Amino acid sequence: MDNSVIIIGAGLAGLAAGCYCQMNSFNARIFEQHSKPGGVATAWKRKGYTIDGGIHFLMDHKPGQPAYEIYRELGAAQGGSFTDLEIYGRYIDESSGKTLVVGRELDRLAADWKSFFPEDAQKIDDLIAGARAMQRDGMDGMDYAKPPELAGRFDGIRQLWEMRRLFRYFTGKYNKTITDYTQDVSDPVLRKVLKYMFLPEVPVWFVMMILGMCVQERLGLIEGGSLDFAMSIEQRYRDLGGQITYQSAVEEILVEENRAVGVRLADGSEHRADIIVSAADGYSTIFQMLRGRYLDEQIKKRYTEWKPCSPMIMVNFGVDREFPGEPPFNTIFLNHPLDVAGSTVDGIFVRIFNYSSKFAPPGKTVVQVEFETDWDYWNDLRRDNRTRYEAEKEQIAQDVLDRLDVHYPGIKSQVEMTDVATPYTTWRYTRNYKGAGMGWLYTPEIMMSVSVTKRTLPGLENFLMAGQWVVGGSVPGCLYSGRHIAEILCLRQRKKFTTTCG
Ligand SMILES: Cc1cc2nc3c(=O)[nH]c(=O)nc-3n(C[C@H](O)[C@H](O)[C@H](O)COP(=O)(O)OP(=O)(O)OC[C@H]3O[C@@H](n4cnc5c(N)ncnc54)[C@H](O)[C@@H]3O)c2cc1C
């Protein structure tokens, strides 16, 4: 009957795939290695505080915005659960003493920046013009474009036509990395701010798009946090009759005559289904669970030449203090770099969870510091010397706290809870390749390629993939990739795809 589906992984992609399969009369069963849903969209409790280790902002959190409908269909858009992101980011440069705020008004942003950096006025105008174009002509659905398995003959042409006014931004200097683009910016502070507005490797058009979305009020904060968001999708999946089994790591995808027929779990048990979907880490799916048997040149290139996002250290503090009026996202460019894992860290990202009462008891706040680090260092240390691994985590927490105390005097004596997550922690709970929590790096080349990445593997039948290693890391992108699984299955069975929403 081709009706039973096994899904590997209960991250956002796996949960979405499960929901849409259930809505379309496929019987889905998810196997998840961890004890809770969400994958990298997660949170954990420590001493009365809730630490959110995932999603920073949600794109299209309001009814009527392009991706909102998928949140509603998946039960993740209950009333009042999102709040507008008023300030995209605050950037503090310790050495110059300058502070820049990126808010939702482009005119004001342009005026502020030009008064700070008059010699870079032309560059500022150029960037703002791009953000306005993105805002006006939209990038709706670009991320969520249909995969090759679903695209009709004219879909590509239609999409090109819809985005024709933005063409100039996807080519030439705007399709270079923001780091390249800022080479000729004369003020070093502006250069740093632009470079770290997202990641230094992203194309210029991506930064313009984020600015455009911020202005359009298309970026929101999740009041209940990432795990709450994932749990509401898990609940929707269960309500639709889906089954989920936790603490069940899939070790092998069973294949007979080049057809995927089931999975073997770490406990040795085997489970069979008509269709197998992996919404887990791409590398382990292709090279471990399937032992590298189903590859073509494109896939080989992807897994040898593309770079994953850098893994992160996340230092969390539960602080007996409120932070009224502070923006939730702050980047501090340090005057004296931190020395971590044998490299220097010259900037830290500080997240202040002051926008909801869900993260801390009254009067208290979670403050989180993130920065990029090295996978091998932390993985080797955790494996070879557990005592030193723990000691290094403690030392980093101390060093980071010293730096925070400069900006939030007194914080050192107000800390009640400290928690440090390393790239090893990310790997342990999500199995993402080398602790890369957001999948592939958002380079211009990768961003242009993920929209045409196939969900199938060459030579293997009854098998599909979803998630951030297929479509790139983003909440709506991963949810859509789950939806595409059910759409492909319906298309194959010549069934009409439906979304039964309450
Ligand atoms: C810190 C951080 C901040 C982010 N911020 C944003 C943001 O602001 N906005 C945004 O849109 N996106 C953001 N993202 C990206 C987004 O959250 C992710 O791209 C998305 O959640 C990934 O979902 P996924 O299901 O593809 O993968 P994952 O979350 O990695 O889920 C994969 C699941 O598979 C399970 N699994 C793996 N191997 C096995 C196995 N062998 N057997 C069984 N189960 C297995 C894992 O345990 C996991 O639960 C952020 C990501 C991170 C890490």
**Is residue 46 packed enough to be buried (19+ CB in 10 Å), middle (13-18) or exposed (0-12)?**
middle
Of 445, 450, 449, 441, give the one whose Cα is nearest residue 307: 441
Q: Write out the two tokens for 162.
A: 């819809």
Q: Residue 251: CB partners within 8 Å, gap ≥ 6? A: 264, 265, 266, 288, 289
Q: In three state form, how does the secondary structure of 270-310 look?
A: EEECCEEEECCCHHHHHHHHCCCCCCCHHHHHHHHHCCECC
Distance CA 100, CA 113 (A): 8
Residue 453, SS3 per DSSP: coil
Point out the ligand 1 atom lying closest to the alpha carbon of residue 288: 41
Cα(72) to centroid(ligand 1), Å: 20
- Burial of residue 80 (CB within 10 Å: 0-12, 13-18, 19+) is exposed
Ligand 1 contacts CB of residue 438 (under 6 A): yes
Question: What is the rounded distance in angstroms from the CA atom of residue 127 to the CA atom of residue 148?
Answer: 32
Atom of ligand 1 nearest to the CA of 58: 9
User: Residue for token digits 């997660």?
Assistant: 42
Report helix angle 106-116 to 121-137, nearest 10.
170
How is residue 182 annotated by DSSP? G
pLDDT digits (tens, 9 = 90+) for 102-124: 999 999 999 999 999 999 999 99
Q: What is residue 151's three-state secondary structure?
A: coil
DSSP state of 146: P
Q: What is the pLDDT of residue 80?
A: 64
Residue-level pLDDT at 502: 47
Query: CA 64, 218, 75 angle in degrees (round to 5)?
Result: 55
Q: Is 446 in a helix, a strand, or coil? A: helix
Q: How far is the CA of 62 from the centre of ligand 1 (A)?
A: 23
The pTM score is 0.96
Q: Which residue has the tokens 């560059």?
A: 123
Ligand 1 atom 8, closest CA: 56
Of 55, 226, 427, the residue with max ligand 1 atoms within 8 A of its CB, to mutate for a pocket test, comes to: 55
Residues 403-417 pLDDT 10s:
999 999 999 999 999
CB-based contacts of 387: which residues, under 8 Å, 6+ apart?
none
Q: What is the residue-level pLDDT of the chain in tens, covering all 502 positions?
A: 569 999 999 999 999 999 999 999 999 999 999 999 999 999 999 999 999 999 999 999 999 998 999 999 999 997 668 999 999 999 999 999 999 999 999 999 999 999 999 999 999 999 999 999 988 766 665 556 688 898 877 777 777 777 777 878 888 999 999 999 999 999 999 999 999 999 999 999 999 999 999 988 999 999 999 999 999 999 999 999 999 999 999 999 999 999 999 999 999 999 999 999 999 999 999 999 999 999 999 999 999 999 999 999 999 999 999 999 999 999 999 999 999 988 999 999 999 999 999 999 999 999 999 999 999 999 999 999 999 999 999 999 999 999 999 999 999 999 999 999 999 999 999 999 999 999 999 999 988 888 789 999 999 999 999 999 999 999 999 999 999 999 999 999 999 999 975 4
Pocket test for ligand 1, best of 438, 453, 484, 485 (most atoms within 8 A of CB): 438
CA of 231 to the centre of ligand 1 (A): 14
Q: Give 362: exposed, middle or buried? Use CB within 10 Å, 0-12, 13-18, 19+.
A: exposed
State the sign of the Cα–Cα–Cα–Cα dihedral 267, 429, 147, 448: negative
Q: Cα separations (Å) of 81 from 84, 183, 282?
A: 10, 41, 31
| Phi, psi for residue 225 in degrees, rounded to 5 | 90, 175
CA atoms within 13 A on the CB side of 456: 16
Does ligand 1 lie within 6 Å of residue 12's CB atom? yes
- What is the per-residue pLDDT for 288? 98
Rounded to whole angstroms, how far apart are CA atoms 309 and 432? 11
Give the angle 435-439-441 at the CA atoms, nearest 5°. Answer: 105
| 82 within ligand 1 shell (Cβ under 6 A) | no
Q: Which residues contact 97 (CB under 8 A, 6 or more apart)?
A: none
Ligand 1 geometric centre to CA of 116 (Å): 39
Q: How far apart are the CA of 40 and the centre of ligand 1, in A?
A: 4
Does the beta carbon of 482 sit less than 6 angstroms from any atom of ligand 1? no
Tell me the DSSP string of 73-103: HTT---TT-EEE---SEEEEETTT--EEEE-
**16 CA distance to ligand 1 middle (Å):** 12
Residue 138 near ligand 1, beta carbon < 6 Å: no
**Alpha carbons within 13 A on the beta-carbon side of 459:** 12
Nearest residue by C-alpha to atom 6 in ligand 1: 55
Give the whole-angstrom CA distance, residue 258 versus residue 263: 14
Evaluated on CA atoms 315, 316, 320, 325, the torsion sign reads: positive
Ligand 1 within 6 A of CB of 33:
yes
Place of tokens 């290094």: 392
**Rounded to whole angstroms, what are the CA distances from 97 to 91, 107, 261, 324, 486?**
10, 24, 61, 22, 53
First to last CA, the chain: 27
Q: What is the pLDDT of residue 79?
A: 63
